Structure 1
Amino acid sequence: MRAGVLSDDRVIEFLNENFINVWVSNVELERTPRKQAYMARRREELSKTFDRTHPLAKAIMEGWKEHSPVDCLVIAPEYDVMGKLPLNDFFDDCFQKDIPEEDAYLKFLEDSLGGKLPGFKDEHSDSPSNGLNVVLNPEQTEQEVLDILRTPRYGYQDYTVVEIDATAFEDGGTLAIDIRMGTAKPGGSFDLYDSDTELPTKGYPDDALTSAWDIPSGQIGRIRHHFDEGKVFKLGATGTWFNEKGSINAFLAKISVEEN
């Protein structure tokens, strides 16, 4: 499918209602520098190109695996990536396990719709994720983070950690974090800390600056925190204690700062 039509919300709604599979060219999403150069030349000739700032385009790009020529993605109507399947890995796995490809692909779809987030588990170990860094400044006051959280044992914490660098706001401001949970079963809890605070692994997060707890699946939560000078924060995301241990869900956090 020509990617430009996927910038039309009416087309997306029709695809969702009828559960229609489509393919999107890596060229139009400018996946590599070579493709970016090609599209720069082609853009003037095309009547419409894929808006790379559209939430659907962002979801597709979030689901890419580096060096994978083709990625199969299941994306929710809210633009959450529910499952991702790099094609080369898929064929290798089917061959090694002697599984028919059609059976394996059906399981991928079922797991995606069942909220099991296939394709995410392999990228996250049991330890907290410390690779998420957001840097904000007066020129770029907002960024989004899409990742997953895990449910710990009751009374414990198992944080996916997002570092938020707001040191460029020398006179301080208000940090705002708008969180949308994915559509898998587990809810999520989020705690904001100073950068020098050691994150707890069990018990209540008494040292947190502020929190948003027990955000249900598919729902939205908000964190607001005023600060007087530029600083670095850590956002800890974890599953709520009332879910099954080890269960996971995706979350999308829109992080922004309003200057004083």
Structure 2
Amino acid sequence: MNRHFINTWVSNSELGRTRSLREPIAKKREREGKPFDTTHPLAQAIMKGWKTGSQKGSPVDSYVISPEFELMGKQQFTELEIAGISQKEYYHTFLKDALEEKQPGLGNIVLTREHLVEEVLDVFRTPAVGYLDYTVVVIDLTSFENGGTLTIDIKIGRDKGDGEFYLFDEDGELSIDEEEPKDALTGTWGEPCDTRQITYRFERGQRFKLGASGYWDEGEMCINAFLAKISVEENPNGTVQ
């Protein structure tokens, strides 16, 4: 697969992401006379990646960027450290999904009549504050004007940590202060190695948000993986059965 990629490293601090280092680095550049062009398309693509998908802290982010400098995928280093799924397998899936234009890590799943099923591999973790700490997947079903049935089949990883999964509409509040968020349309929970399913009937094309979180009362910080198979069955006559 390496033949599809050119690899390079870019320091986040050089781009100004680390606030405490901005002034020292600026002085260093002035002293050495080596400016860093943050307007370059590669730098701009990386900086866009900071604001896309998961916002959780990570010392290293991996990005897949097209020859036209379009962001194709994002993978955080901290989310490779998952017992039960090898780093090699996880990272290979990330690269493969990026090449297939599935936009892994960018937080959006788009289903259409020609593309009715999508899989998402991600992680959830025990909340450090509040009851929930969401990993969010945006599900775009706007092309199904007549409505239909959304099905999410969830497989929870083998590591420690129970998982909670809630479905929201596009404008629903992902509250962290409620054990069961009031804006959730439906939801489920499970233990390691469990399989669960969420189904929801919708009357018109719209966007949803799937929020995955670890259980708040684990007694220790846990990070576990989940695989979500997201599919839709369109209602042909516009009336949800």
Q: Is residue 82–residue 159 contact of structure 2 (8 Å, CA) maintained in 1?
A: no
User: Shift of residue 31 of structure 1?
Assistant: 3.9
Supply the distance in 2 between the matched residues of 1:225 and 1:173 (Cα, whole angstroms).
8
For residues 141 and 245 of structure 1, the distance between their equivalents in structure 2, rounded to whole angstroms, comes to: 38
Q: How does 1:19-98 map to 2 (within 5 A)?
A: 26=1, 31-32=4-5, 65-66=62-63, 81-83=85-87
Contact 1:170 1:230 in 2 (8 A): yes
Residue 229 (structure 1) aligned with residue 204 (structure 2): yes
- Alpha-carbon distance in 2 for matches of 1:180, 1:189: 12
In structure 1, C-alpha distance between the alignment counterparts of 2:152 and 2:107, rounded to whole Å: 15
Q: Percent identity?
A: 48
**TM superposition shift of 1:180:** 0.4
Q: Is the 8 A contact 2:122 2:227 kept in 1?
A: yes
The answer on whether the counterparts of 2:131 and 2:215 sit within 8 Å (CA) in structure 1 is no
| 1:151 to partner: Cα distance | 0.9
Q: Are the equivalent residues in 2 in contact too, given 1:151–1:244 (CA < 8 A)?
A: no
Q: TM-score, normalised by structure 2?
A: 0.56
Deviates more, 1:238-247 or 1:131-140: 238-247
Poorly superposed stretches of 4+, deviation over 4 Å: 73-76
Residues 1:208 and 1:139: Cα distance change in structure 2 (over 3 Å): same
Q: Is 2:187 the counterpart of 1:211?
A: yes
The 2-side partners of 1:189 and 1:241 are apart by 10
Aligned to 1:184: 159
Q: Which runs of 5+ in 1 are unaligned?
A: 1-25, 34-64, 68-72, 86-129
Structure 1 pair 243–143 and aligned structure 2 pair: CA distance change class (3 A): same
How far the C-alpha of 1:237 sits from its partner, in A, is: 0.1
Separation (CA, whole Å) in 1 of partners of 2:145 and 2:106: 25
* Deviations 1:28-51, CA, capped at 9 Å, x for gaps: xx6449xxxxxxxxxxxxxxxxxx
Closer, same or farther: CA 188–74 of 1 in aligned 2, 3 Å: closer
What does the per-residue CA deviation read over 1:173-207, in whole Å, with 9 as the maximum and x for residues that have no partner? 00000000111011101000010112101212121
Which residue type is aligned with residue 85 of structure 2?
A: V
| Aligned-residue RMSD, C-alpha | 3.0
